[in-house]
Amino acid sequence: MPIIAARPSLADYDHQPERTTGPWSALTLRVRVAVKRDALLRELAAGAPPGLSPELALRASRLVKDRHRHQLARALRRAIREAHEPPMTRSSMTIVNRRAVIDAEVALDALITRISGDGPVAAQGMAMVEWLITDGVDSPLYNDARPGTLSRHVSAARIALEPEPERGEFPVAA
């Protein structure tokens, strides 16, 4: 009687040890990062070193890419434009905290210039910028907060964008 090979199912792999190399491990890592995207962002924004886990490392590497930097800069420019000229159509409501954005405009412009530039940026600062833009619940970009809160968050993010010096290097005092 001939032997008919059956296709393996996902259940066949449930009890195998996790692969450490190859396309499956890369795919598995990307899926884990996608599932924990917001939690990883919060960890990086709080100062977790990207080398702490492969998930943090991948999330951090995506945050500092030029394309992502330009997307965040574009979003901040749009927030400033909406604060000054809110759209008057029904379908396009202004959701930014106009007063806070106008008060923090100088700091926002400096942040936009920094993330749009060619110099390297740290993942922590980029995570802080992305949090400001994407967190509609807690971000002072969208919600009422004490005066100056958005400016303080923006300034903290701009400071956190500066990469730490390599080991053995010492910052030069100006």
In a domain, 71, yes or no: yes
Least confident of 46-60, 72-86, 89-103: 89-103
pLDDT at 94: 58
Q: For the beta carbon of residue 76, count every other beta carbon within 10 angstroms.
A: 22
Q: CA–CA separation, 21 vs 12, rounded Å?
A: 19
Model's pTM, two decimal places?
0.78
- In a domain, residue 101? The reply is yes
Mean of pLDDT over the chain: 83
pLDDT at 42 over 90: yes
Q: Which residue did the predictor score with more confidence, 163 or 23?
A: 163
C-beta separation of 50 from 123 below 8 A: yes
Percent of the chain residues topping a pLDDT of 90: 61
d(CA 72, CA 31): 23
Based on the structure, what is the number of domains in the chain? Answer: 1
Tell me, yes or no, whether 59 lies in a domain.
no
Residue 105 lies inside a defined structural domain of this protein: yes
In a domain? residue 5? no
pLDDT at 39: 92
pLDDT tens-place string over residues 77-90: 999 999 998 777 66
With respect to residue 35, please indicate whether it lies within any of the assigned structural domains.
no
What is the reported pLDDT for 30?
87
Residue that has been written with the tokens 């996902």 in this structure: 10
Tokens of residue 160, six digits: 């956190």
Structural domain includes residue 150: yes
Q: Indicate whether 154 belongs to any domain.
A: yes
76: domain range? Answer: 66-160
Instruction: Tell the residue number behind the tokens 């500066």, with chain if given.
Output: 162
Would you state the pLDDT for residue 92?
58
Q: Given a cut of 80, is residue 128 above it in pLDDT?
A: yes
Burial of 55 (0-12, 13-18, 19+ CB in 10 A): buried
| Helix boundaries (H) for the chain | 23-35, 37-45, 54-63, 66-84, 98-103, 105-116, 123-134, 149-160
